[in-house]
Structure 1
Amino acid sequence: MYVVMNRLPIPAGHAPAFEQMFTASFEHMKGVPGLQRITLQRPSKPDQPYVSTMEFENADAFRAWMGSPSFRASHAVPDGTPEGAMGRGSVIETFDTIADLNFTS
């Protein structure tokens, strides 16, 4: 599995708008080849970033998504979005999963 983690610093006053816009963008992710899961984590402390994770079958599936219409649609900022609502300076990290213990399946 190939995991993409995006750390998104969002100003506290924009958190509700960000959460709504970000989770609405998940609609564009349905049917993306190789995409297995998307999550958005809200920080438990005000000085921490939000964290989004995407789990793909492999790095090639992730790279293919980056060139797709789904990628462009999911990153489009809707008209009327308040300035700063999407934050600035996100940090993207990628990982190859080497171990996975799932207690739910």
Structure 2
Amino acid sequence: MNRIAVPAAGAAAFEERFAASMRATLPGVDGLLGARLLRPQQEGGVYVAVMDFTDREAFAAWMRSESFRAAHGPSEGGAPDDVASGGVEMFETVLSVGA
């Protein structure tokens, strides 16, 4: 899970570019169970990108993959540096209940 600070003025552009990047780079990633981009309910809030992998090894392999590089390259429409301010915080699952 990543929290991504995005200025309110850049929210629409961020959503478009991030969603396009997810659609282009995530299909077929080994071990990826699903990915979601969550919009804050308050304007100017923090977006959350959630990716579920089968295990830590699958996540690590994705981090080393061409898919990851394509998603995060500045010219490929990944989480765009020009609209994401304040960097990205990363989280991992401690507990999961249910499907």
TM over 0.5: yes
Structure showing greater Rg:
1
The match for 2:91 is: 93
- 1:85 partner SS: coil
Task: Provide the C-alpha distance between the structure 2 equivalents of 1:69 and 1:96, rounded to a whole number of angstroms.
Answer: 28
- 2:36 partner SS: strand
The residue identity in structure 2 corresponding to 1:89 is G
Instruction: Call closer, same or farther: CA 1:83–1:32 in 2, change over 3 Å.
Output: closer
Task: Provide the C-alpha distance between the structure 2 equivalents of 1:70 and 1:9, rounded to a whole number of angstroms.
Answer: 23
> How many residues matched?
96
Which runs of no fewer than 5 residues in structure 1 stay unpaired?
none
The residue identity in structure 1 corresponding to 2:30 is P
Contact 1:11 1:84 in 2 (8 A): no
Task: Provide the C-alpha distance between the structure 1 equivalents of 2:57 and 2:95, rounded to a whole number of angstroms.
Answer: 15
Deviating beyond 4 angstroms after TM superposition, the runs of 4 or more aligned structure 1 residues are none
> Could you report, residue by residue, the CA deviation over 1:44-82 in whole angstroms, capped at 9, with x for unpaired residues?
012420001000001100000000000000112238xx8
The match for 1:18 is: 14
Q: Kindly report which structure 2 residues correspond to 1:26-65, keeping only aligned pairs within 5 A, or say none.
A: 26=22, 27-65=24-62
Contact 1:39 1:53 in 2 (8 A): yes
- 1:51 partner SS: strand
Contact 1:11 1:85 in 2 (8 A): yes
Which runs of no fewer than 5 residues in structure 2 stay unpaired?
none
Task: Provide the C-alpha distance between the structure 2 equivalents of 1:58 and 1:93, rounded to a whole number of angstroms.
Answer: 14
User: Normalising to structure 1: TM-score of the pair?
Assistant: 0.81
